[in-house]
Chains A and B, each alone.
Chain A
């Protein structure tokens, strides 16, 4: 590596300044929320009283809906990621391998969900869901079908960025030549190469699912966000505390997945 810093990279100082300024500005609202949850009472001062109330068994009825919502959201996130990996990913690979002309169409389809606001989509989703409810019941996990759509733009973008740099055509051909069936090609040859994109897509999907409110609320399902609103009506401090916890949980999860992804990459780079 040459000692001369190349003109494409900013100086470490400039980089640090920008990142620190942006980080501080973005941290302030979060800190305000934390300060709010630490307020002790009318006489001022701060303590951990509201955080302790979360663990108080007396409040278990009030927070029952919150814990249910969290459980449902976790299940929803898992099913949505499943939809992305099992439905979107093979389709994208298939289109890239077999139908390159359809790539524009696929991209357009995957971008439409951002153009349709959720409040509008729900008006049309309701009749579809009444059919789904008859087939599969109205358990909260069925909401994942709608979430899979909401997540499409972000997941598509993440996987596509990866797909561009991996030559799936040659890899697939090579594997087929060596006698692999399509299943093996997909799972053992292509998927490991697309790990970064799939991970990013999963991570973004989890973030979207944990943060989605409108569709769940208008279809009457209990998720993390709807239960937060519910609890905030009776106890705003705990609601804000839980919102912070949800953010922290999502962040830690994504951070870990990101580290696992980078560590693997460090190992694999010669």
Chain B
């Protein structure tokens, strides 16, 4: 008798669970969410105000891999929260572009999935089916080569590869070869492993360009780091705000906006300065994209609009990153002139690697890097 009752109860419980699952599945996707997911511009919502309304109704936005000190994202997120009264949940600030996509895939259908991405170009071009097309209101302000034609991905900002250093610990490096000197013993760190992180790869590209290589041949860059390692100057530790503050990584090769942010954060703790080497400069635009399965599609699109508005683009500039609408902002005089003066004009010989060059470079790195720095 007991067994039978138990089995019956179990079957009822299973059935109830199955029914709940089915009904939960049916509930999502109903209502106005359908429109938001398909919207390709603010007009589809019925104008900017309607977009803002729809986003406020959702009330939340999930972002990923946006540390507060990366290109002023802390301020950008606060500005968005204050302007639209939408809570921004910033998850996993530490993860790479590839992990952003993995997180989106892992959490598909859950309301913790990321709504928007900020990705390196290699990962962006590899995952086009994960994005939703969307054209922001000031679509024409973005130069032609800086966007995918339907808005799957759009360049948002770039920096320059720079050398950040603790002015009390080392002398100012004036050229790349200065780093090989004995004052830099055990002090020079890259922001990550070039076979894994875009910022570190860009550091190797800079070394290549400064050592007689080119965008098609980064072997001189790998050779430079091999020399650096043999001299005992290369520090294979990941620089973080903690290691900069503690003095463990006195020299960091990283994006200009990161080094500038480190200087601000460490005011009073470390005398952190940033320098961009004269000669060829390496930049790499990051890409803004919307998750095709975004749990908050209207908020995601509003975020996109916000990112390309002068307010956010000027915040990028204030951090030392060059926003993609810079030229248009200068023309329309909406640019923050003080910030532009502080950062300096975008160098004319800024080198950005094409997808083919990136692929060639990364396969060279995959082959040669580990051996070079071991």
Contacts and interface: CB of A to CB of B under 8 A. Distances in A.
A67 interface: no
B182 to A, nearest CB: 25
Contacts of A217: 92, 94-95
Interface string B143-180: 00000000000000000000000001000000000000
Interface string A58-76: 0001100100000000000
Contacts of B106: 122, 126, 129-130, 218-220
B245 to A, nearest CB: 5
Contact of B94 (A36, A135, A219, A229): A229
A135 B168 CA distance: 57
Contact of B240 (A42, A61, A226, A233): A233
Nearest to B92: A217
A239 interface: yes
B98 to A, nearest CB: 12
Given A138-B111, A220-B92, A234 B241 contact: yes
Interface stretch (B20-28, B212-220, B341-349): B20-28
Contact of B241 (A126, A135, A233): A233
Nearest to B107: A220
Contacts of B242: 232, 236, 239-240
A239 B245 CA distance: 12
A235 interface: yes
Contacts of A65: 90
A80 interface: no
Contact of B268 (A41, A130, A232, A236): A41
Interface in B71-116: 74, 78, 89-95, 99, 102-103, 105-114
B269 A130 contact: no
B357 interface: no
Interface string B108-128: 111111100000000000000
A236 B241 CA distance: 6
Nearest to A140: B112
Given A234-B68, A234-B74, A235-B241, A218 B103 contact: yes
A234 B78 contact: no
Which has the most chain A C-beta neighbours within 10 Å: B69, B90, B93? B93
B265 interface: yes
Contact of A133 (B91, B105, B109): B109
Interface in A204-241: 217-222, 226, 229-230, 232-237, 239-240
Given A36-B246, A240-B242, A220 B113 contact: yes
B354 interface: no
Contacts of B192: none
B251 to A, nearest CB: 17
Contacts of A138: 107, 110-112
A96 interface: no
Contacts of A237: 245
A52 to B, nearest CB: 14
Given A41-B268, A234-B241, A236-B242, A134 B21 contact: yes
Contacts of B90: 65, 230
Given A36-B246, A220-B113, A229 B17 contact: no
Given A134-B24, A218-B106, A233 B246 contact: no
Q: Chain A binding site: helix, strand, loop or mixed by DSSP?
A: helix
Given A220-B103, A234-B74, A229 B269 contact: no
Interface residues of A, number: 34
Nearest to A233: B67
A122 B106 CA distance: 9
A74 to B, nearest CB: 19
A195 interface: no
Contact of A236 (B95, B240, B271): B240
B24 A233 contact: no
A232 B269 CA distance: 16
Contacts of A62: 68, 74
Nearest to A41: B268
A41 B269 contact: yes
A39 B109 CA distance: 45
Given A61-B78, A135-B20, A233 B68 contact: yes
A234 B73 CA distance: 11
A236 B245 contact: yes
A219 B67 contact: no
Which has the most chain A C-beta neighbours within 10 Å: B102, B110, B241? B110
Interface string B208-245: 00000000000000000000000000000000111001
Nearest to B266: A42
A131 B108 CA distance: 10
B270 interface: yes
Given A138-B112, A219-B107, A230-B93, 14 more contacts: A42-B270, A62-B74, A122-B106, A126-B106, A129-B110, A130-B109, A135-B17, A220-B103, A220-B106, A222-B91, A232-B242, A234-B69, A234-B74, A237-B245
26 contacts: A36-B246, A61-B78, A62-B74, A129-B110, A130-B109, A133-B110, A133-B111, A134-B21, A135-B17, A138-B110, A218-B106, A219-B107, A220-B64, A220-B112, A220-B113, A230-B90, A230-B92, A230-B93, A230-B94, A232-B241, A233-B67, A233-B93, A235-B241, A236-B240, A236-B245, A236-B246
Interface of A: 36, 39, 41-42, 61-62, 65, 122, 126, 129-131, 133-135, 137-138, 217-222, 226, 229-230, 232-237, 239-240
Query: Closest 9 interchain pairs by CB?
Result: A236-B242, A126-B106, A133-B110, A234-B68, A233-B67, A138-B110, A41-B268, A236-B241, A220-B112
